[in-house]
Homo-oligomer: A and B are copies of this chain.
Amino acid sequence: MKEALFTVGMKVRDYECDMQGIVNNAVFQNYLETARHDFLLSRDVDFADLTARGIIVIVTRAELDYKKPLRSGNHFEVTVIAEQVSRLKIAFKQTIRLQGCDELVMEAIVYAVALKDFKKPFFPEELKALL
């Protein structure tokens, strides 16, 4: 169902570009995180609130495929789909596409687990709300 795909639009900020004149590779993880946290909010899960309550959701692995650079002025869309991939692990499948022309900029899978107070791993209700 294409309707189910969570999508957020963003625009390159000039300070995100490095001396090559393109968005620095680390910044893409900022974009992906921002889209994930917006996705959480769309399911009534607030990352800051989780953190304040000692529910620490941390990235355990990221696979990032850089397909096209982003440049100053580019508008783009970041998508998120969540999937439970093991008893304790959730995977966020994400894409970044140039707005308008639909060109693929990045494909990524970001794996995460939740820890209670940085200790015991568990799968909180809040993550179930994402599936």
| Chain A interface residues (CB < 8 Å from chain B) | 13-15, 17-22, 24-30, 33-34, 37, 41, 46-48, 51-52, 56, 58-66, 69, 71-73, 118
Contacts and interface: CB of A to CB of B under 8 A. Distances in A.
Given A19-B18, A26-B29, A48-B19, A66 B72 contact: no
B21 A14 contact: no
Q: How many copies does the complex hold?
A: 4
B14 A48 contact: yes
A37 B22 CA distance: 16
A14 B34 contact: yes
The A interface, classified by DSSP as helix, strand, loop or mixed, is: mixed
Contact of A25 (B21, B25, B59, B65): B59
A108 to B, nearest CB: 9
B71 A48 contact: yes
